[in-house]
Amino acid sequence: MTSALSSIRTGGGDCRIGFRRAALLLSVALMVGLGGCAKGPRTTGSIAASTPADADKATAHWGARYEKNPKDKAAALNYAAALRQNDRMQQSVAVLQKAVLAHPDDKDVLAAFGKALAANGQLGQALNIIRRAQTPDRPDWRLLSTEAAILDQQGKNEEARKLYVQAQTYAPNEPTILSNLGMSYLLTGDLDKAEASLRQASTLPGANSRVRQNLALAVGLQGRFDEAEEIATAELPPDQASANVAYLKNMLAQQQDSWKKLQEADCKKTS
């Protein structure tokens, strides 16, 4: 795998667009900023924060509470997050859409709804909702980072990076901002910048497994899979470490296959 990944990275410049297009196919899985709401079960943008069994328990728990009172804000937010953890994206969006009707001016609900829309691929709607949730006189760095992540998925990478810089002025030592910036560079094939940003994020106070798994992915995409595996398994229980390594191998295999096919197609178009 190492040599194959290295050859992909050093592919011809005329076909470089294939790298970007392939990366965008997996952008929702890669971006960190589109995770679940606070205090609920969360997806990480790369590696799940809890096991499937935990997600099932959370879905059952919050689903029962939601059934009793669909207008319960905490129940709606956590139930939607648990549904997303179980890949029930449409249902998660539906729950939050109903929550917005019950709490039309609540910033937490609007933010969660925007993130769910983005994770479901409804980027235009997501962007509108996230901007609606933002407070111009007191900008929320989380919403700025999420807005930037959506712009990245739309291919507006320079615009996105300006928002990451803006978000850093409000939270200068926040690792998730740097992590998202790193993933922005990954989407355009700037692996050196991606690694640098993610490595810096991983050294900051508050950096968690999500940040380190994204760093592992960036390192692995450069063909340094042993190092990527070491990063992915650090400070984790054996079962979760094994799951993370399996995820990395699967992701790298998908990227390798997608890049190869798209590179070949783009080369044919330009030849």
Rounded Cα distance between 119 and 227, Å, is 29
pLDDT above 80: residue 158: yes
Mean pLDDT of 103-122: 92
Helices and strands (H and E) in the chain: how many: 15, 0
Poorest-pLDDT segment among 16-20, 73-77, 182-186, 194-198: 16-20
- With cut-offs at 50, 70 and 90, classify the pLDDT of residue 254: low
pLDDT above 70: residue 140: yes
Per residue in 209-223, pLDDT tens? 888 888 988 888 888
Q: What is the pLDDT of residue 208?
A: 85
Per residue in 62-101, pLDDT tens? 999 999 999 999 999 999 999 998 889 999 999 999 999 9
Per residue in 222-241, pLDDT tens? 888 888 888 888 777 777 77
- With cut-offs at 50, 70 and 90, classify the pLDDT of residue 271: low
Closest alpha carbon to 42 in 66, 78, 70? 78
Asked whether 217 and 209 are in contact (CB, 8 A), the reply is: no
Mean pLDDT of 8-34: 41
**Alpha carbon of 114 to those of 26, 132, 171, 202: distances in Å?**
19, 9, 21, 27
Asked whether 85 and 36 are in contact (CB, 8 A), the reply is: yes
Q: What is the pLDDT of residue 80?
A: 95
Better-predicted residue by pLDDT, 12 or 128: 128
pLDDT above 70: residue 260: no
Rounded Cα distance between 107 and 225, Å, is 41
**Alpha carbon of 265 to those of 14, 25, 153, 232: distances in Å?**
11, 15, 22, 33
Better-predicted residue by pLDDT, 161 or 87: 161
In the chain, pLDDT over 90 holds for what percent of residues? Answer: 48
In single-letter form, the type of residue at position 36 comes to G
pTM metric for this prediction: 0.72
Per residue in 35-62, pLDDT tens? 333 333 333 233 334 566 788 899 999 9
pLDDT above 50: residue 15: no
3-state secondary structure of 105: coil
Q: What does the DSSP assignment read for 155-195?
A: T-HHHHHHHHHHHHHHSTT-HHHHHHHHHHHHHTT-HHHHH
3-state secondary structure of 257: helix
DSSP state of 13: G
